[in-house]
Amino acid sequence: MDQKDRNFRRYEEGVSINDWELDEKIFQQDTSYKCPTYVHRTPPCQGSCPAGEDIRGWLNIVRGIELPPTELTEALTDKDLPEHADWAQYAFERATNANPFPAIMGRVCPAPCQDGCNRNEVEDHVGINAVEHFIGDYALEQKLSLHEVGADTGKKVALIGGGIASLTCAYQLRRMGHACTIFESHDKLGGMMRYGIPGYRTPREVLDGEIDRVIAMGVEVRVNTKIGVDIELEQLEKDFDAVFIGIGAQGGSPLPVPGAEAATNCISGISFLDAFNDGRLKHSAKRVLVIGGGDTAMDVAAVARRLGHITQTNEKDRPENVVLGHTVHDVATVAKRQGADVSVIYRRPIEAMPATKMEIAHIQQEGVQIRGSLAPVEVVLDGADRAKALRVIEADWSTGKMVIKEGSEFDIECDLIVAAIGQVGDFAGIEELDNGRGLIDSDSYFRWPKREGIFVAGDVVRPHLLTTAVGQASIAARAIDAYMSHENQAKQPKVDVHHFSLLEKLRETHHEPDEYDHLEHRGTDHAAYAIHNYEDRSETQIVPADELFLGYFDYAARFNRTENDITGKNVLGHFDERIFGPDAEQARTEADRCMSCGMCFECDSCVIYCPQDAISRVKKSDKTMGRYVETDYNKCIGCHICEDVCPSGYIQMGLGV
């Protein structure tokens, strides 16, 4: 078969591919028809981040690989700032492109990015949340502002709920130039960050500082305003160009066993935490049972241990009466409190609990007993309306499914039962939004499918992480912008995150390509209007560990943040923050463990090992992140060595035959 026939028909009938001489097709001795191209792909940390943060980007900034713009460095030179001011501010700007709450996320996010980190294949993941903790705290200390507001578009958006979803959506919309008004039923913004997570985990000065930055972008706020009660949803639709719903899921699912509904001292975990964070609940009960295995259950157990109990002499002192809003604890009684006996009951084995491992370890250190493989059967009542015990039954999970052990029921005595088994939204006055499961339906762009102009994101779509709400709200903001601009909704990329853009980086460093004159040209391999020797696959590909040269990386122990020593002996009344963030040097050392998956980090391996000297560094005057080396294809023989020794998987052999 001649070459012409091969182009038309690759194989003859009955010819096996093994009849081809594949070593001649790809390799001839040490040469091939393939040459290196530099391929940007998404790292798995970013692919695992629900907020889609450019984690590799700000880690490379912290470690000193990607340098801040000259203008930023010069602007900070004459100021009384730390030596690390330029890279710390630049890292903050990169991190907040996706997520305006780095100080909060660095503290409470369970960091699924770290589970996906390719460094796990070497020894241990990079301490991503520790570095983010540093970035967030530095920005608060230096009172840094968020990104600039866009040019006014004349469009207005109403955002219902003042939690992380609405705040993130408002932040992204203000960057686009749209006016935003947040309507919040509480007297303060923050949603679950304020009312669902204990203050010792999200310190109020940190939370307020990060929220204030968003409001400072020109976001109007109306607190103590409940949509559906104080203002009708239909009125918002008339007054605004679009409506975003971020009401969260601040109602708890009831315990679905006999006796639970009648017991006044059987309450939800969400209500318990709301009463505590609102300052109403000052002490708990002597024997507390927490049902559930998620982070909310861990928070309830930890708070109950810290609150302790008092010898109750009045009906009003019972914690359920405070949680249900019937009374408020007198702060003077706190001096009388004693420790509380707190247990967590979970129907699956302890190792299957969805809560963060760190949170599980913390509550155990603080004296909480966790009992797994126990399923609630009945709330045992003492009289008509109070629980005196929880009846449970043992479960066997050895087959992977729950098998009840008949006859294994027993009672666990208690004074308070807190069920942290699910969340639902509050739809009073806006019942039409309820999908029948206590949540709101949406499409992949977070549009409400029943009516145009209404968008939704966060826990009210699917209760999950704070970072999940951030990522959803960013997508919703893009959808709102397209809707108000009367543009077709752009197709979502396969990997929908905040990608590094080489073109934007070139513009930032004044290396952008010349403007294309749209005329026909020949010999364009060095044309100044194009980016050469580079391919961006970040919207479709995540780089796996097996495409990295892991042998390049030496063992380096992960940095562990120091913690307050809180045990069962000193937990009572201990409301100080538990985890302390790294300093600048520690953050930089930890960031240096990043393998920069899918992006060059200037190790010079390809330059050193190329046998033909075909790969060289670009001129210093042309160098920037993502453009550090180039290939002379007149010298390249396609030996694949550069690809083999590239630690980050940035080099791929291509160009074909």
Q: Is the pLDDT of residue 141 over 70?
A: yes
* pLDDT for the residue numbered 331: 61
Residue 233, number of CB atoms within 10 A of its CB: 18
Q: Percent of the chain at pLDDT above 70?
A: 94
Which residues does 115 contact at the CB level (< 8 Å), separation at least 6?
48, 125
CB-based contact 338:309 (threshold 8 Å): yes
Mean pLDDT score of the chain: 92
Residue 616 domain-assigned (yes or no): yes
Establish if 411 belongs to a structural domain.
Answer: yes
Domain shared by 465 and 356, yes or no: no
Read off the pLDDT of each residue in 369-390 and give the average, rounded to a whole number.
95
- Residue 606 located in a structural domain: yes
pLDDT of residue 329: 72
Same domain, 169 and 119: no
Helices (H), 49-163: 55-63, 70-77, 85-95, 102-108, 112-116, 128-141
In this structure, are 579 and 440 located in the same domain? Answer: no
Q: Are residues 304 and 413 in the same domain?
A: yes
pLDDT tens for residues 265-324? 999 999 999 999 988 898 899 999 999 999 999 999 999 999 998 876 577 778 888 887
State the total domains in the chain: 4
For residue 161, pLDDT over 60 is answered with yes
Task: Indicate whether 184 and 295 sit together in one domain.
Answer: no
Q: Which residue has the tokens 């979803």?
A: 165
CA dist list (Å): 550 to 119, 417, 595: 9, 50, 9
Pick from 506, 255, 549: which is nearest to 392 by CA? 255
Specify whether 517 is located in the same domain as 625: yes
- Condensed to tens digits (0 to 9), the pLDDT of residues 34-45 reads 889 999 999 999
CATH of the domain at 342: 3.50.50.60
pLDDT digits (tens, 9 = 90+) for 627-639: 999 999 889 999 9
| Claim to verify: residue 631 and residue 519 sit in the same structural domain | yes
DSSP state of 180: E
State the first-to-last Cα distance of the chain, in angstroms, to the nearest integer: 17
Q: Strand, helix or coil at 379? A: strand
Q: Render pLDDT for 594-617 as a digit per residue (tens, 0 to 9).
A: 999 999 999 999 999 999 999 999
pLDDT in tens, 16-35: 555 545 554 577 777 888 88
**Is 100 inside any structural domain?**
yes
pLDDT in tens, 453-510: 999 999 999 999 999 999 999 999 999 999 999 998 889 999 999 999 999 999 999 9
Residues 81 and 49 reside in one and the same domain: yes
2 occurs within a structural domain? no
The larger pLDDT score, comparing residue 445 to residue 318, is at: 445
86 within a domain of the structure (yes/no): yes
Cβ neighbors of 173 (< 8 A, separation 6 or more) are 157, 180, 477, 480, 481
Residues 367 and 468 in one domain: no
Q: Which domain holds residue 628?
A: 18-41+501-537+598-657
When mean pLDDT is compared across 382-386, 448-452, 460-464, the lowest value belongs to 382-386
pLDDT of residue 107: 96
Sign of CA dihedral 89, 95, 99, 101: negative
- b/e map 197-206, b = 16+ CB within 10 Å: bbbbbbeeeb
Q: Using CA atoms, how far apart are residues 302 and 155, in angstroms rounded to an integer?
A: 45
Q: What is the pLDDT of residue 62?
A: 98
Residue 180 to residue 182: CA distance in whole angstroms: 7
Which range of 174-183, 318-327, 635-644 scores highest in mean pLDDT? It is 174-183
Q: Give the CATH number for residue 35.
A: 3.30.70.20
The DSSP bridge pattern shows strands 31-32 and 287-291 to be unpaired
Write down the pLDDT at residue 655.
Answer: 64
Which pLDDT band holds residue 6 (cuts at 50, 70, 90)?
A: very low
Q: Are 271 and 370 found together in one domain?
A: yes
On whether both 120 and 49 belong to a single domain, the answer is yes
HEC profile of 205-261? HHHHHHHHHHHCCCCEEECCCCECCCECHHHHHHHCCEEEECCCCCEECCCCCCCCC
Q: Is residue 490 part of a domain?
A: no
- The kind and range of the H/E element at 345 are strand 341-345
Q: Find the CATH number of the domain harbouring 74.
A: 1.10.1060
Task: Count helices and strands (H / E) in the chain.
Answer: 22, 23
Specify the range with the lowest mean pLDDT, choosing from 64-78, 167-181, 215-229. Answer: 64-78
Edge-to-edge strands of the sheet including 156-160?
A: 220-222, 179-183, 156-160, 242-245, 454-456
Does 8 map to a domain?
A: no
Residue 502: both structure tokens together = 């080489």
Instruction: Indicate if 353 and 294 belong to the same structural domain.
Output: yes
